[in-house]
Amino acid sequence: MKDVEKLDENERAWVLLLRTCKAVERARDSELERLALSSIKAEVLYALKTAEEPVTPSKLARWLYRETHTMSGLINRMEEEGLVKKSKDLERKNLVRVKLTEKGEQAFQEQLSAIIVPRITSCLSREELDNLKAYLNKLQTRALEIIRDLQPLPYR
C-alpha cells in the first residue's frame, strides 16, 4: 500500500471511490444471494419497474452503463430464471421489449427489504448524505460528458 501514498490527490480519491463502490457492491451481493440475485440483476429489476416507457435491451445497457451484448446475455439468463420476459415490439418487429414477470416483480419487492445499503450509509448524517449525493451526481455528470466526447454513440 505504500505506492498509494505516491499518487496525487485525484488518483487517491479515485482509488478510494473505486474501492468503496466495490466494497458496497460486494456487501449488497452477499445480501442478495439469499434471493438468488446479484446487484446487477437487482439494478435491471429496478430499471424495469421504474421505467416510464417500453424498455429495450439497448436502453437498459445505456441506463446501467453496460455493453449491449453484456446486457443481452444478462437478460437472456434472467429470462431463463423467469424474472423477465422478452417480446417483439408490435410496431417495429426488429425491436425486443423487456418486461418484468410476476416472479421478477416478486424478486423486486423482496430485494427492497434489503438492509445492507442503509446500514452502510447510516454512519452519515443527513447533511453528509445529501453532500455525498450531490458530489456523486456531479462526478457522474462529468463522466458522462467525457464519455460522450470519447464515444458519441449511443450516449448522444
pLDDT in tens, 21-65: 999 999 999 999 988 899 999 999 999 999 988 899 999 999 998
Report the phi/psi class of residue 65: left, alpha or beta, with left for phi > 0 and alpha for psi in -120 to 50: left
Task: Enumerate the β-bridge partners of residue 88.
Answer: 96
Give the pLDDT confidence of 61-109 residue by residue, as tens digits: 999 989 989 999 999 999 999 999 998 876 666 688 999 999 999 999 9
User: What is the separation, in whole angstroms, between the first and last Cα of the chain?
Assistant: 39
Q: Which SS3 state, helix, strand or coil, does residue 7 take?
A: coil
What's the whole-number average pLDDT of the chain?
89
Cβ–Cβ < 8 Å for 103, 78: no
The model's pTM is 0.79
Copy the grid coordinates of residue 70. Answer: 453484456
Q: What is the pLDDT of residue 113?
A: 85
Cβ–Cβ < 8 Å for 45, 55: no
| Spatial distance between the Cα atoms of 9 and 44, rounded to a whole number of angstroms | 34
Copy the grid coordinates of residue 9. Answer: 490527490
Cβ–Cβ < 8 Å for 156, 63: no
Handedness of CA 34, 36, 40, 46 (dihedral sign): negative
Give the pLDDT confidence of 108-132 residue by residue, as tens digits: 999 988 889 899 999 999 999 999 9
| Spatial distance between the Cα atoms of 72 and 94, rounded to a whole number of angstroms | 15
Q: What is the pLDDT of residue 140?
A: 93
